Amino acid sequence: MPSPSIQCLTFTCKEISGQVICLDNLPIHLTFSPQRHVIAKQWLQKYLGATHITDNTDRHYFTDLIGEFLAGHHQNFPPQAKSPFVEKGSNFQRRVWDCIAEIPYGETKTYGELAKAIDHPGAARAVGQACNANPLALIVPCHRVIGSNGLGGFAGGDTIKKILLLLEQNTMRQKSSYQLKS
């Protein structure tokens, strides 16, 4: 049986750059942190025996999708491969990630609202930790989860979180304005 194809992609658009790991051409890990990217590659090698991880510098459909998203032309990502990074998450983390995936483009929810939504009221801090452990940033849009008194944290950094939230708000405002004119 041939070993799976694992590719590492890098994307840069506007002030945002990040890394994606694809398994058989489907994203299984997306981060804005080079350190997390290295750790993810090491984990694949150690626990999945991945020996052929290639850096793909060619154009790739998924980095094109990210570019469209960051340009405000694309709001949802297609269903994803079964990610080993998601599978290794706890039941609680996976419930949080599933709930985050339901937050519509341009909207936000607080850590406390998510805790209530998964029947764990009072677990806002644990929700924040699950957000921090999210292996599929953007795809599971944890940047849409905010603190009750402000922005809250983000594994990709506060600047990227602000840029992503402003991008989505501006895109929704422009679409709303366009619909009113039509």
- Give domain status of residue 80, yes or no: no
Domain range for 58 = 6-70
pLDDT 10s digits, 55-98: 888 888 999 999 999 988 878 887 666 899 999 999 999 999 99
- Give domain status of residue 157, yes or no: yes
pLDDT 10s digits, 96-134: 999 999 999 999 999 999 999 999 999 999 999 999 999
Are residues 32 and 100 both part of a single domain?
Answer: no
Are residues 45 and 109 both part of a single domain?
Answer: no
- Give domain status of residue 83, yes or no: no
Q: Are 14 and 163 in contact (CB under 8 A)?
A: yes
- Give domain status of residue 149, yes or no: yes
Catalytic residue among 8, 22, 131, 142: 142
* Mean pLDDT for all residues in the chain: 89
Report the predicted TM-score, pTM, of the whole model to 2 decimal places.
Answer: 0.89
Active site residue 142: yes
CATH number of the structural domain spanning residue 165: 1.10.10.10
Count the domains in the chain: 2
Q: Are 160 and 154 in contact (CB under 8 A)?
A: yes
In the 8-state DSSP scheme, what is residue 140? S
